[in-house]
């Protein structure tokens, strides 16, 4: 069992703990925190698509991206000189995620729990 595998397992345990222990109803906040460091594509409501590395997220799902470039044809405002950006959560339409970084079972369990605790 090598060190990288150990780190991955530790990371997964930490993430499950984060999902389970949340006192506030912040399923997607925790979800995005677990994706920090991964490459994502953020599509905004003005049709701009930004590809970058997820640097940080907050409770409003505001997003900070680093090393960005504009995907989807640079016909939309090209931000050639912009390397990092902050995106207000409310202008996000989609965030495209790497499918293999997402643990769907964990997500579904957390969503069931979240919905149940929201109700009460």
Partner 1 sequence: MADEGDVGVVGNTTVAVEEPLDLIRLSLDERLYVKMRNERELRGRLHAYDQHLNMVLGEVEETVTSVEVDDETFEEVYKTTRRTIPMLFVRGDGVILVAPPMRGAPP
What is the contact surface with partner 1 in residues (CB under 8 A)? Answer: 25, 27-28, 31-32, 45, 61, 89-90, 92-99, 102, 104, 107-108, 110-112, 114-116, 118-119
Pick between residue 68 and residue 87 the one whose CB is nearest to partner 1. 87
- Closest to partner 1 by CB, 19 or 70: 19
Q: Which is nearer to partner 1, 14 or 112 (CB)?
A: 112
Q: How far is the CB of 97 from partner 1 (least distance, A)?
A: 4
Minimum separation from the CB atom of position 63 to partner 1 (A): 10
- The answer to whether 18 touches 34, Cβ cutoff 8 Å, is yes
Q: How far apart are CA 107 and CA 96, in angstroms?
A: 16
């Amino acid at each position: 069992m090598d060190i990288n595998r150990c780190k991955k397992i530790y990371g997964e345990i930490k993430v499950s703990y984060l999902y389970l222990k949340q006192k506030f109803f912040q399923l997607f906040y925790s979800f995005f925190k677990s994706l920090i460091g991964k490459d994502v594509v953020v599509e905004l409501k003005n049709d701009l698509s930004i590809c970058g590395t997820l640097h940080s997220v907050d409770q409003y799902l505001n997003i900070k991206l680093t090393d960005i470039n504009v995907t989807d044809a640079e016909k939309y405002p090209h931000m050639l000189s912009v390397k990092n950006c902050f995106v207000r959560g409310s202008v996000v339409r989609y965030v495209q995620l790497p499918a293999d970084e997402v643990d769907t079972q964990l997500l579904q369990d957390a969503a069931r729990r979240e919905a149940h605790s929201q109700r009460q």
